[in-house]
Structure 1
Amino acid sequence: MNTAVSPDPLTSLYRDHHGWLNGWLRRKLGNGHDAADLAHDTFLRILAARNAQAIEEPRKYLVTIAKGLVVDRFRRLSIEEAWLETLAARPEPLAVSPETRALILETLFAIDHMLDALGPRAREIFLLAQFEGLSYAVIGERLGVSVTAVKKHLARALAQCLILAEGC
């Protein structure tokens, strides 16, 4: 009698596709270390979602998750690079400590994530109002939406800012 227990779906998925995914990411990123990190993070996402048994097309599913992680990684690097350029332009006495730098970067990443979660219309309205100082009417005219829609989207964005501020 065979008493071997078949591995759980996540173990099988990992065993069957981790090497392939790591190679795919290495070709995309040109860096083995980052590829290994993102392959690991891809499987962590699946583990957190606990849905490995429902995957019908494993490689397509893995690539979809990995592409999102690659985009997130490049977005974070872009934000960090912009911040470092800003720091480099500051006079030396105004330089910030490594701890402050880490806190600022963490906050910038959180704001970026929050803005991304708003959706394109609300994000654009928030940015036009906050950084260009446009009135509701001008924003509505520019985007072809009503002033009521502008107010609704801006209220949602500001509510998210408050939630973010409470978490800090």
Structure 2
Amino acid sequence: MPSADTHTVHALYTEHHGWLSTWLRRRLGCAHSAADLAQDTFVRVLLRPQVLLTLREPRAYLTTLAKGVVSEHWRRQALERAYIDALAQVPEALALSPEDRLQLLQTLDAIDAMLDGLPPKAREAFVLSQLEGLTYAQIAQRLAVSERTVKRHMALGFAHCLALVE
């Protein structure tokens, strides 16, 4: 990162980190999570320093980034809760080790992140097909759409995943 960008990011962080942490704390109700998500928000700033050159409303920009980070946080928590609930149904003899649980949870989180850019219906169709093993006809019935629409959703899902892999 060029020196000018470093100074700009540093100034943005210095001027707005406290405000952003407070904003996040009000929404999350947890100072620790707010601190973590504030840092995640500034990591996103670091990933796109070129945006800072034309930035007129830094708090609006940070709010937009933070909303995405919060959304990912809640989705990840929901995924973890669903996983823990599913594990509670598994007989103890078949239970996974803590290491295997962590690896599986990280894999689920990675899959969730991969599918994040898909429209909701395409995402749901892709998950129903690839994780639940439903046929296109079953997916069409469940989503109340045509099989042709399911095929389009699946093509979009596969294209999205392939683009991320490349």
Where 1:8 maps in the other structure, the secondary structure is helix
Q: How far did 1:163 drift?
A: 8.0
Using the aligned pairs only, state the percent identity: 46
* 31 and 139 in structure 1: CA distance in 2 versus 1, 3 angstrom threshold: same
Unmatched 5+ stretches in structure 2: none
For 1:17-70, what per-residue CA distance to the aligned partner results, in whole angstroms no more than 9, with x for missing partners? 111111111111111111111111111110111132321111111111111111
1:55-66 to structure 2, matched below 5 A, reads: 55-66=55-66
For 2:7 and 2:94, the matched residues in 1 are separated by 55
For 2:121 and 2:88, the matched residues in 1 are separated by 33
Name 1:28's counterpart in structure 2: 27
Is 1:49 aligned with 2:48? yes
Name 2:13's counterpart in structure 1: 14
Unmatched 5+ stretches in structure 1: none
Deviating runs (4+, > 3 A) in structure 1? 127-132, 134-138, 158-164
So what's the TM-score if we normalise by structure 1?
Answer: 0.79
Between 1:32-41 and 1:111-120, the stretch displaced more is: 111-120
Q: Which amino acid aligns with 1:142?
A: A
For 1:150 and 1:101, the matched residues in 2 are separated by 32
Supply the RMSD in Å over aligned alpha carbons: 3.0
Name 2:78's counterpart in structure 1: 78
* 87 and 60 in structure 1: CA distance in 2 versus 1, 3 angstrom threshold: same
For 2:128 and 2:81, the matched residues in 1 are separated by 23
1:122-141 to structure 2, matched below 5 A, reads: 122-130=122-130, 131=132, 133-136=134-137, 139=140
For 1:129 and 1:105, the matched residues in 2 are separated by 20
For 2:103 and 2:133, the matched residues in 1 are separated by 26
For 1:137 and 1:110, the matched residues in 2 are separated by 26
For 1:64-87, what per-residue CA distance to the aligned partner results, in whole angstroms no more than 9, with x for missing partners? 111111110111111111111111
Name 2:115's counterpart in structure 1: 115
Name 1:94's counterpart in structure 2: 94
The alignment covers a number of residue pairs equal to 159
* 135 and 34 in structure 1: CA distance in 2 versus 1, 3 angstrom threshold: closer
Whichever of the two has the greater Rg, that structure is: 1
